[in-house]
Amino acid sequence: MSRVLVTGAAGFIGSRIAEFLRAADHEVVGVDALIPAAHPVDAGLPDGVHRVDVADHEAIVALLDGVDVVCHQAAMVGAGVDASDAPRYARENDFGTARLLAAMFDAGCARLVLASSMVVYGAGRFLDADGTPVHPVGDRRPEDLRAGTFEHLRDGQPLRWTLTDEDTPFAPSTSYAASKCAQEHYARAWSEQTGGSVVALRYHNVYGPWMPRDTPYAGVASVFRSRLAAGLAPLVFEDGGQMRDFVHVDDVAQANGCAIDATDADGFRALNVCSGTPISIGTVARLLSEATGGPVPEITGGFRLGDVRHVVADPRRAQEHIGFRAMIPPDEGIARFASEPLRRSAGQAPAGMSGKVTSNRLPESRLDATIDPEWASTRP
DSSP 8-state code for residue 294: -
- Is residue 248 within 8 A of residue 328, CB to CB? The reply is yes
Does the active-site annotation cover 176? yes
Q: How many CA atoms lie within 13 A of 206 on its CB side?
A: 33
Which residues, including other chains, have CB under 8 Å from residue 143's CB and lie 6 or more apart?
none
User: Other CB atoms closer than 10 Å to residue 170's CB: what's the count?
Assistant: 14
Nearest CA to 172 among 69, 233, 90? 90
Least confident of 163-167, 293-297, 340-344, 376-380: 376-380
**pLDDT over 60 at 42, yes or no:** no
Least confident of 127-136, 141-150, 356-365: 356-365
Q: Mean per-residue pLDDT for 114-126?
A: 94
**pLDDT over 80 at 365, yes or no:** no
Least confident of 136-140, 204-208, 253-257: 136-140
DSSP 8-state code for residue 84: G
- CB-based burial, 290-311: b 16+ in 10 Å, e otherwise: eebebeebebbbbbbebbbbbb
- Is residue 180 within 8 A of residue 203, CB to CB? The reply is no
Which residues, including other chains, have CB under 8 Å from residue 300's CB and lie 6 or more apart?
235, 236, 237, 359, 361, 362, 370, 371
Angle between helices 281-292 and 220-229 (to 10 degrees): 30
Question: pLDDT band at 136, cuts 50/70/90?
Answer: confident
In this prediction, residue 297 carries a pLDDT of 97
Question: pLDDT band at 119, cuts 50/70/90?
Answer: very high
**pLDDT over 60 at 165, yes or no:** yes
- The rounded percent of the chain whose pLDDT value lies above 90 is 66
Better-scored residue on pLDDT, 45 or 259: 259
In this prediction, residue 379 carries a pLDDT of 31
- Is residue 252 within 8 A of residue 17, CB to CB? The reply is yes
- Is residue 202 within 8 A of residue 318, CB to CB? The reply is no
- Is residue 118 within 8 A of residue 379, CB to CB? The reply is yes
For the stretch 20-30, pLDDT in tens is 999 999 999 99
Q: Mean per-residue pLDDT for 96-106?
A: 98
Question: Annotated catalytic residue: which of 89, 176, 186, 217?
Answer: 176
For the stretch 44-74, pLDDT in tens is 677 789 999 999 999 999 999 999 999 999 9
In this prediction, residue 344 carries a pLDDT of 72
Least confident of 51-65, 79-93, 343-357: 343-357
Q: What is the pTM of this model?
A: 0.88
Q: Mean per-residue pLDDT for 269-292?
A: 97
Q: Mean per-residue pLDDT for 316-334?
A: 97
**pLDDT over 70 at 157, yes or no:** yes
Nearest CA to 210 among 220, 222, 200, 199? 222
Strand partners, 324: none
Mean of pLDDT over the chain: 86
> What is d(CA 338, CA 47) in angstroms, rounded to the nearest whole number?
28
Question: Phi and psi at residue 365, in whole multiples of 5°?
Answer: -70, -20
